Structure 1
Amino acid sequence: MGFEPPQRLTRALGATYGEAAAAEWLGKLPALAEDALDRASLTAERVVAPGGRSSLVILAHRSDGTPAALKLAPAFTRPDLERAALAHWNGWGTVQLLQPEDGAALVLERLHPEVSLRSLPDAKALLEAAGVVRKLWVDPPAGHGFESVAERTARQAAAMEAHGAVSSAALDAREELLAGDAESVLLHGCFRQGKVLAGDRVPWLAVGPEPLVGERAYDLARLVRDRVEDLVAASAGASAARRRLNRLADSVDVDRERLRGWTLFRAVESATRWLAAGRRPEAELLLEFAGWL
């Protein structure tokens, strides 16, 4: 079968990592997929579309007929770190890693890619999401290679400085949040409703981590702004956003002010990336949301 990358993957890789790097990997993708399927003894069924923004996922089955999924990602997205995190979680709250081999290809248990928490009413989705993410916050493995929240956000902050007044409050919030000692647990790194898929082993499982270590409030912050377009369109969007933040903080016992600070930083950081990419409407949505906090 052919392994044509979905348009979402092609666009997102180029925008995030550069057109040259994306084109080089995408050009090799058909051969990489064939080789990975052969080495894992998998028979392909179909490519998941529209799929993700940094990887190709192929639904397949193993030689004994067991359903599986093969995930292929370029080395510059660090699939090795995703593998290490999934191995450590060992299916607790996350998709199960089925084969431990090194390399860019991940052989995973088959979930239902068309059914994420975004298919549920928002209040129910947030409740289920909170139940999943709290399972992930465990001690990291000894000798791990994950970066810290301070390290990841330092790179982001350096890029944000070019946007001056747009970023100043968010940068100040980051400085305050990192000023004292904080917990250091394993985090998903990109947790939101779309990253939680329906499964057979348990109802909901997280996928696609960008793992790092740090405090739980950082991990919860991206979830606060889920469905931001609906919040901004609502007549009482500002108060609804603040209520959501408070409910999420209370549901997983996270300090409200720390969650507010990381939500502000992460929303503005995303907005500045959209501005740099020329996507002003998306950026303005996030900046309006950030202004409510």
Structure 2
Amino acid sequence: MISLPEAFLAMPRWWTEGGEWLAGLPAAVDRQCEMWGLEIDGPISHGSNAIVVRVSRDDEQLVLRMSPPGPDLPEHARALRWWDGRGTVRLYDVDLPRGAMLLERLGDSLLDQPIGDAMAVLGRLMRRLAVPAPADAVSTAANVSGRTPQLQADWERLGKPFDQAQLTEALRVAKHLSHTTSGLAANGDFHADQVLRGAREPWIVVDPLLYRGDPECDLARTLLTRVDEMADGAEIRDHFATIVSEAELDPERARDWVVFRALDYGLWGLAHRLTIDPERCRRILQAFVD
């Protein structure tokens, strides 16, 4: 059986849930390989809640991704099937009850690239994914409408962790972000850690979530994953401008999405006892709200 990486075992998610699944994961990988006729042929990598095992079948190099079964997996599978390789990893098979996906094998992470180059790639991918979305995809505007009524209550409950001006601005921009005329597809889980080097396309997105509406809905997270490398607010805004230009976005609406999502995610992170990401959200908010 495989040995799980210590860094994966230490992920915060397992502090409160998933212990039984984690304990049975090595045996589950063996069963899935037998079911799909796979041979393990490389090291294991991981994210925050999934492992990726390099496998082969009939001389074809693939990866087996295993994550806890739950509502996210069908959404990821649906997104991959719908984009069907357009800027996204190819899905060869899926076993939803077991949390297994068989995927195209990709290369190094975009996180390893210089930050300026990475921001340009993210912008181009944001535009590449922005094709007409299915009518039944969840709306980015509906996400804002559903979350907005909770923001002030969460802010107060958590001890007013962000400036009043930042909360006020997030609530202001939410009024128009809760409406959109765009019917384009948007990735609701978009950042450099989920973009890998490909062969058929230079860079390919993994683990997307399919929304309909504003392509820039997750632009804040593209900044957040590299913000520690940005010296100050001016540099944050410069990298924001690169994404906006490459993705051909409306700068004002893109800025408003960054403000809303930075405050929203910052509050969520604090509620879930995260420490680093809320501070990153604070830096992003300070760059865009006077």
Same topology, TM > 0.5: yes
Query: Residue by residue, what CA displacement relative to the aligned partner does 1:57-93 show, whole Å, maximum 9, x if unpaired?
Result: 111001x121100111222252111111111111111
| Native 8 Å contact 1:177 1:258 kept in 2 | no
Using the alignment, how far apart are the partners of 2:173 and 2:34 within structure 1? 46
Q: CA RMSD in A?
A: 2.5
Query: Residue by residue, what CA displacement relative to the aligned partner does 1:147-193 show, whole Å, maximum 9, x if unpaired?
Result: 32244445654366322343623541452233433313222211111
Residue 203 of structure 1 pairs with residue 202 of structure 2: yes
Partner of 2:25: 29
Partner of 2:177: 178
Residue 132 of structure 1 pairs with residue 113 of structure 2: no
Partner of 2:41: 45
Residue 148 of structure 1 pairs with residue 139 of structure 2: yes
Partner of 2:50: 55
Partner of 2:106: 111
- Aligned pairs for 1:231-270 (under 5 A) are 231=230, 234=231, 237-270=232-265
Given candidates 270, 273, 277, the residue that maps to 1:275 is 270
Structure 2 gap ranges (5+): none
Partner of 2:187: 188
| Native 8 Å contact 1:9 1:56 kept in 2 | no
Which amino acid in structure 2 is aligned with residue 4 of structure 1? L
**Structure 1 pair 74–159 and aligned structure 2 pair: CA distance change class (3 A):** farther
| Native 8 Å contact 1:3 1:33 kept in 2 | no
- Deviation at 1:241? 1.6
Given candidates 66, 85, 88, the residue that maps to 1:91 is 85
Using the alignment, how far apart are the partners of 1:26 and 1:222 within structure 2? 27
Structure 1 residue runs of 4 or more that deviate by more than 4 Å after TM superposition: 100-103, 153-157
Structure 1 gap ranges (5+): none
**Structure 1 pair 282–178 and aligned structure 2 pair: CA distance change class (3 A):** closer
| Native 8 Å contact 1:85 1:211 kept in 2 | yes
| Percent of pairs with identical residues | 25
| Native 8 Å contact 1:43 1:61 kept in 2 | yes
Which amino acid in structure 2 is aligned with residue 163 of structure 1? W
**Structure 1 pair 196–176 and aligned structure 2 pair: CA distance change class (3 A):** same
**Structure 1 pair 209–38 and aligned structure 2 pair: CA distance change class (3 A):** same
Using the alignment, how far apart are the partners of 2:250 and 2:80 within structure 1? 27
Using the alignment, how far apart are the partners of 2:85 and 2:186 within structure 1? 15
Using the alignment, how far apart are the partners of 2:276 and 2:73 within structure 1? 31
- Deviation at 1:274? 3.1
Using the alignment, how far apart are the partners of 1:8 and 1:77 within structure 2? 21
Residue 215 of structure 1 pairs with residue 201 of structure 2: no
Query: Residue by residue, what CA displacement relative to the aligned partner does 1:252-284 show, whole Å, maximum 9, x if unpaired?
Result: 221111111111122222222332344445422
Partner of 2:74: 80
Which amino acid in structure 2 is aligned with residue 134 of structure 1? R
Residue 69 of structure 1 pairs with residue 32 of structure 2: no
| Native 8 Å contact 1:225 1:241 kept in 2 | no
Partner of 1:230: 229
Query: Residue by residue, what CA displacement relative to the aligned partner does 1:77-110 show, whole Å, maximum 9, x if unpaired?
Result: 5211111111111111111112366553111111
| Native 8 Å contact 1:183 1:214 kept in 2 | yes
- Deviation at 1:36? 1.8
| Native 8 Å contact 2:119 2:242 kept in 1 | no
Using the alignment, how far apart are the partners of 2:109 and 2:131 within structure 1? 23
TM-score, scaled to structure 1: 0.84
**Structure 1 pair 258–135 and aligned structure 2 pair: CA distance change class (3 A):** same
Which amino acid in structure 1 is aligned with residue 22 of structure 2? L
Using the alignment, how far apart are the partners of 1:102 and 1:275 within structure 2? 31
